[in-house]
Amino acid sequence: MTLNVLILCTHNSARSVLAEGMLNHLAKRLGRDVRAHSAGSAPSGRLNPFALEALQNVGVETRAYRSKSWDEFTASDAPPLSIVITVCDSAAAESCPVFFGPAGQSPVQVHWGYPDPSNAEGGDEGKRRAFELTRQAIGYRMLQLLALPLATMDRASLQQALTEIGAS
């Protein structure tokens, strides 16, 4: 059974898109049955071109990506979510809607904060560098997530492991 992960950020244009791209890319490479999705509480309706460039530079296919609302994941036809990760501080402070996981259980929720690379100084080159560093940091945590024995972990163990990854 596919493990669905929802990654949230306020505008769903940069950090959450980087996380979705990296988790799907790495899961496919490692043969793990994990599927990432991303959304925002107040989606901008556009993806940051530096985020797309950072993903494309490492071979992530981004054509189907779009900025979307987290409301899409509260609908009855939404994929059952096992994990919800917030990646920006403003989204972590918001009240999330109710998401549904497998067997009606709520998903494990964790916050892995990253500074907004869109605010980097140094013009386009500074932003490119910030987006690449953010992509690498997110990718490292996604590799740690994929190294977990996800199929055999109970809810409490998964929560603890994800919290530890976020603290590392």
- Give pLDDT tens digits for 84-121: 999 986 554 555 566 666 666 789 999 998 999 999 99
CATH number, domain of 98, equals 3.40.50.2300
Task: Look up the pTM and report it.
Answer: 0.92
The pLDDT of residue 132 is: 98
The pLDDT of residue 129 is: 97
Residue 164 forms part of a structural domain: no
- Which pair of structure tokens corresponds to residue 75? 């609908």
Residue 54 forms part of a structural domain: yes
The pLDDT of residue 168 is: 85
Low-confidence ranges of the chain (pLDDT < 70): 89-104
Residue 163 forms part of a structural domain: no
The pLDDT of residue 97 is: 61
The pLDDT of residue 10 is: 87
The pLDDT of residue 136 is: 98
Nearest-CA neighbor of 19 among 155, 144, 126, 147?
144
Residue 74 forms part of a structural domain: yes
For residue 70, the enclosing domain spans 3-158
The pLDDT of residue 102 is: 66
Number of structural domains the chain divides into:
1
Residue 76 forms part of a structural domain: yes
- 110 HSE (CA, 13 A, CB side): 21
The pLDDT of residue 88 is: 80
Residue 166 forms part of a structural domain: no
Residue 167 forms part of a structural domain: no
Residue 75 forms part of a structural domain: yes
